[in-house]
Amino acid sequence: MIEGLSHMTFVAADLDRMTRIMTDFLGAKLVYDSGDEIFSTSRERFFDLAGLWIAVMEGEPLPTRTYNHVAFKIRDEDLDNYARRAADLGLEIRPPRPRVEGEGRSLYFYDNDNHLFELHTGTRAQRLARYRQGRIEAR
């Protein structure tokens, strides 16, 4: 039986750059750095982000970009601050998809390894409640 999420792993060509995204931008805490030792398939670092175990392993970036992504929950009033911080880090911000009012707002950004991340202000319950209301003009 599934007990919950164990961890997320991202492969990054530049561990230091991904560490800056994890710690300086997302606010994760670096809890492990393998240095030059290799216990798995490459050098790696572990982070704690709001209780989530995030592993970053050194390797080749994804060859293409897709809409596959991981989304982290943030407060609506923090979205503009994160947008400014993403721009300051030189992260490529992806235009948001069309949304219906009431499902929350999002900031999408790519890292240098073609991972897509989302910072989202809504919850699943809010989105489902909004969808039950039916289609209204998308913004």
137 is catalytic: no
Domains of the chain by residue range = 1-60, 61-139
Q: Give the pTM.
A: 0.84
What's the whole-number mean pLDDT along residues 48-63? 96
Q: Which of the following is catalytic: 3, 44, 58, 118?
A: 44
Tell whether domain 61-139 is in CATH 3.10.180.10: yes
Check: CB of residue 104 under 8 Å from CB of residue 79: no
Element (H, E) at 11: strand 8-12
Please say whether the beta carbons of 18 and 1 come within 8 A.
no
Of 3.10.180.10, 3.90.1150.10, 3.20.20.70, 3.40.630.30, the CATH number of 1-60 is: 3.10.180.10
Domains 1-60 and 61-139 share a fold: yes
Quick check: 101 pLDDT over 90? Answer: no
Instruction: Look at residues 60, 49, 68, 51 and name the one whose alpha carbon lies nearest to residue 115.
Output: 68
Confidence of residue 81 (pLDDT cuts 50, 70, 90): very high
